[in-house]
Amino acid sequence: MPTKSQYGVTAAGGNSYFIYNDVLFIVLNNTAEIESADDHKAFMEQVMEETKVINFKWKIVAMHESVYTISYHANDSHIIAPEGFRNNIVPIFEEMGIDVVLQGHDHVYCRTYIMDGLEPITESDKYIYGNGREKAPTAVYNPDGILYLTVNSATKAKTYDVKNQDFPFAAVKNQEHIPNISKIEISDGKFSVVTYRTTDMTVVDEFTIYQDSAAKAFKDIDENDWFYNDVDLMVKNGIISGVSGDRFEPYTPATRGMTAAVLYRMAGSLPQTGNLDFIDIPIDSYLKEAAKWAVYEGIMSETDNLKFAPEQNITYKQFANALYNYAASKNNPETDAIKWCEDNGIDCGVDEDAEISRAQMVSMISKLKKIVDTAQ
């Protein structure tokens, strides 16, 4: 049963909290009748004092009125004014170490970016882009802030349209005037929320927070896999991502495009000048800049007549050449790329003409990064 309090009391009820396993749920009765955050702060301080002997894995707040929304109530003055509820309550959430804030009231769906205080973190190496980098992140590990989620109506009784204005905090906005439900799953190091359309249970949006290993995002690899730590390190550094939302596909062959992309990211992903465009890479592809960089820097070469062949599987020898061109000293006496890789512990133990997998690629890249970082 929830533990109730004398704080935040209106005709609708008051503040309360409950503990489920090692998760703390704080329920705030925030309505227009109670515009001050003082009551809520006093309540949360009391909760933290009463539960101080418990090492919570997650702290989650649920409240009615949303402080980050995009529809009918987006501009409510008692929320967004300089002295309003948002500016007062957000620093309290930060102080209390809240991980996620669940909200309603506006009958629309909005998922924020991770919020650092009042500022959205729109770009971060900690984000995982399961739907591609041109879309909103689908996961994050060890975030430096709070996720705010405004959930849509679960019935057809009332829905509000998304306002035609800029909402910098909003990573995902959705209103199809279809009832939604949101399913939350929590474990020691993972919080995930998936929102569905009730009409056919297709997914509207999903997001996961990982508190430790970024590699846990992928359902097709296991902690006992020999390449697991390499995947974790490279995902955390923003050098590699999955093939799809929760799939890493470790045994899928690595390609020339993947090779250019991971080395380009490791080099800092600097924008490229010049008019070198490959006819087999779409102008809006994330590979465009990486392929230009790889050729300009002498890491890789074009294949034929302005073709880069990004989908072509790459062999151990070809991959070793790319790593050698990227990292070997210009006056390095060793000119055999495979021998240079083996001398530096970067080999993958296959024949030089054998195609390598994504698992072998990420393992070699991980070892290369450690060598490069040590040399800097």
What CATH number does residue 130 fall under?
3.60.21.10
Nearest to 170 by CA among 192, 137, 196, 140: 137
Given this model, what pLDDT does residue 225 score? 96
Same domain, 143 and 99: yes
Domain boundary among the residues 148, 176, 210 is at 210
Q: Which residues pair with 103 in a beta bridge?
A: 150
Q: Does 70 lie in the same domain as 118?
A: yes
CA distance 213 to 228: 10
Residues 205 and 336 in one domain: no
List pLDDT tens digits, range 192-203.
999 999 999 999
Is residue 293 domain-shared with residue 365, that is, in the same domain?
A: yes
> Total structural domains in the chain?
2
Measured at the alpha carbon of residue 213, what is the angle toward residues 207 and 219, in degrees to the nearest 5?
A: 60
pLDDT beyond 70 at 296: yes
Q: End of a domain among 155, 187, 210?
A: 210
For 133-146, b/e burial (b = at least 16 CB within 10 A) is eeebbbbbbebebb
First to last CA, the chain: 56
Paired sense of beta strands 58-65 and 100-104, if any = parallel
pLDDT at 32 over 80: no
CB atoms within 10 A of CB 129: 17
Residue 139 resides in a domain: yes
According to DSSP, the residues that pair with 195 across neighbouring strands are: 182, 205
How many percent of the chain have pLDDT more than 70?
Answer: 95
- One domain for residues 224 and 187: no
Mean pLDDT value across residues 33-55: 89
The whole-angstrom separation of Cα 88 and Cα 68 is 13
Residues 193 and 224 reside in one and the same domain: no
Last residue of a domain, one of 177, 210, 243: 210
The model carries a pTM of 0.67
In a domain, 53, yes or no: yes
User: What pLDDT was estimated at residue 349?
Assistant: 81
**Does the structure show a pLDDT above 90 at 217?**
no
Question: Cα(109)–Cα(106) distance, rounded to whole angstroms?
Answer: 8
Q: What is the pLDDT of residue 270?
A: 81
pLDDT computed for residue 317 by the predictor: 94
Looking at every residue in the chain, the average pLDDT score rounds to 90
241/334 same-domain check: yes
Mean of the pLDDT values across residues 293-310? 90
Residue 124, pLDDT score: 86
Same domain (yes/no): 250, 126: no
Q: Is 215 a domain residue?
A: no
| Assigned domain for 371 exists | yes
Is the pLDDT higher at 47 or at 215? 47
Per the CB < 8 A criterion, the answer to whether 76 and 83 are in contact is: no
Residues 43 and 105 in one domain: yes
Asked if residue 180 and residue 226 are part of one domain, the reply reads no
- Helix (H), strand (E) at residue 265: helix 256-266
- The answer to whether residues 349 and 256 belong to one domain is yes
190-199 burial by CB neighbour count: b if 16+ within 10 A, else e?
A: bbbbebbbee
The pLDDT value given to residue 157? 79
Q: Tell me what the mean pLDDT of segment 256-265 comes to.
A: 94
Neighbour-count burial of 45, counting CB atoms closer than 10 A to its CB (0-12 exposed, 13-18 middle, 19+ buried): middle
Higher pLDDT pick, 53 / 237: 53
The answer to whether residues 140 and 256 belong to one domain is no
- The answer to whether position 255 is within a domain reads yes
Question: By residue range, what is the domain housing residue 110?
Answer: 3-210
**pLDDT number for residue 304:** 81
